[in-house]
Structure 1
Amino acid sequence: MPEWLNWAELAREFITILVVVDPIGSLPVFYFATARVPRHLHIKFAIRAVLIATIVLLLFLVAGQLLLESLGLRFGSFQVAGGIILFLFAMTMIFGEAKSDREIKEAERDYLSGAVFPLAMPSIASPGAMLAIVVLTDNHETPIAEQAATGVLLLVVMAITLLLLLLAAKLKPLLGNTGANVVSRVMGIVLATIAVDAVLGGFQDLGLLELLPPGS
């Protein structure tokens, strides 16, 4: 495989992970969850949330497919299901209630646990992110080195997320809830395109595309 194609694949994976994690969309959740938390604890609050989300996503990267296989499910089927769910997730980002608004309501129930829920899950380590990680790391077809590269990309995205949370106080006047919602919807459009591609890839793995007549 040419080197430029490897870089193109890495860029695609990076964009996929960045979109499904949606660091900017988690900012309003952080604002509310830390509203009653002393300012000197905000750094620990952000680190705790990102650390928990990272552990969850890395577990899905390592053992997500093993779980599928233990249940006797084909990876292609999961890829199609994951693509459909990612597409529905994208539609929620575009047309539905904003991710940040919905999860802010969740945070109102118990702000003291906001670092774990809803900031770490499901805001950062969202169901869409978990599915995307599994889809990107096929243990049978993807070499260990490439899976490790995906893990590094995940860590980069989580570092970006942590950086944004640490800069939340400075970004709030610039971005605000409206800006975060606009960016989240743009990311939803990108995610919808990625989801359709995942479904087509799943169909190809299952051999269903070969059954379609030419020109379909």
Structure 2
Amino acid sequence: MGSLFDALMLGILALLPLINPPTTVALFLALSSGLSREEKDRQARLTAFYVFLIMTLTYYIGEFVMGVFSISIPGLRIAGGGILCIIGGRMLFPQPRPTSRSAEDDEQRTSFAFIPLAMPSTAGPGTIAMIISASASIKHNTNFPPWVLLTAPPLIFLLTALILWGCLRASDLIMKATGQSGIDAISRLMGFLLVCMGVQFAINGGVEIVQRIIDSNLHRLPQP
């Protein structure tokens, strides 16, 4: 059991900086403004579930799926960056709210658990790249018994999702402290930060592509 505990701690400590719960909580506060407590709880549960699902599927079949569709990590970063820029722009320059909304409008407005909360805000390109890299290298790991390598990954993803869920549930405390004006300010700030993150994702993806092209051309040069 000591080996399992060590593996769980290593995995959680590696994932938490990447998923960055405080950023997700701030984004959750901005997107859930005006929703009922029940709807906020539902969105928090869905976000945690989607994060667990994304990380688990990425670990077991992510490398295979990306290979089948010829998707590279730089491509994933650029696509995620574009999504963040679009969502951030909408938060930075919000449209006037209509005086009356239908149930369909409410459903569309509150469908933010998967995009952008779960992906790419929480389980983004960095998290996916790290999980795929870990799944490829863990097969050669001899530091832990085989049963630990088999059971630890899903437990790590489950505990990480539960930590995120707890942070999102505590967001109401922050909302009570800031008030509606504070939430509006957080929304615009997070919109600006999301645009910056999206641009940075795209830049990182572009740099990786250029670096691969340079490395490929260097390998083709005749060796002295």
Please give the range of the TM-score, normalised by the shorter of the 2 chains: 0.5 to 0.7
Distance change (3 Å), C-alpha of 1:60 and 1:178: farther
Q: Which amino acid aligns with 2:79?
A: I
Quick one: which of 115, 118, 121 aligns to 1:125? 118
Distance change (3 Å), C-alpha of 1:86 and 1:178: same
Structure 1: any 5+ residue segments left out of the alignment? 1-6
Give the Cα separation in 1 of the matches to 2:137 and 2:196: 27
Q: How does 1:75-114 map to 2 (within 5 A)?
A: 77-92=71-86, 96-98=89-91, 109=104, 111=106
CA-CA distance at 1:100 after TM superposition: 10
3-state DSSP of counterpart to 2:47 = helix
Could you tell me whether the CA contact under 8 Å between 1:24 and 1:183 is conserved in 2? yes
Partner of 1:4: none
1:46-71 deviation per Cα after TM superposition (whole angstroms, max 9, x unaligned): 55323322233224422222212234
Could you tell me whether the CA contact under 8 Å between 2:30 and 2:187 is conserved in 1? yes
Give the Cα separation in 1 of the matches to 2:167 and 2:184: 14
Residue 159 (structure 2) pairs with residue 166 (structure 1): no
CA-CA distance at 1:118 after TM superposition: 1.0
1:72-93 deviation per Cα after TM superposition (whole angstroms, max 9, x unaligned): x2xxx52121121133234335
Distance change (3 Å), C-alpha of 1:55 and 1:48: same
Could you tell me whether the CA contact under 8 Å between 2:85 and 2:198 is conserved in 1? no
Residue 188 (structure 2) pairs with residue 181 (structure 1): yes
Distance change (3 Å), C-alpha of 1:67 and 1:100: farther
1:19-64 deviation per Cα after TM superposition (whole angstroms, max 9, x unaligned): 8x73311223334342xxxx5x468535532332223322442222
Distance change (3 Å), C-alpha of 1:129 and 1:171: closer
Distance change (3 Å), C-alpha of 1:42 and 1:80: closer
Quick one: which of 186, 193, 204 aligns to 2:200? 193
Q: How does 1:55-74 map to 2 (within 5 A)?
A: 55-62=52-59, 63-71=61-69, 73=70
Give the Cα separation in 2 of the matches to 1:131 and 1:179: 21
Percent identity between the aligned chains?
11
Q: Which amino acid aligns with 1:165?
A: L
Residue 30 (structure 2) pairs with residue 23 (structure 1): no
Distance change (3 Å), C-alpha of 1:84 and 1:171: same
The aligned length equals: 186
Give the Cα separation in 2 of the matches to 1:150 and 1:84: 28
Give the Cα separation in 1 of the matches to 2:25 and 2:31: 10
Distance change (3 Å), C-alpha of 1:198 and 1:152: farther
TM-score of the superposition, structure 1-length normalised?
0.59
RMSD over aligned Cα, in angstroms? 4.4
TM-score of the superposition, structure 2-length normalised?
0.57
Structure 2: any 5+ residue segments left out of the alignment? 1-9, 142-148, 219-224
From the CA coordinates, give the structure whose radius of gyration is larger. Answer: 2
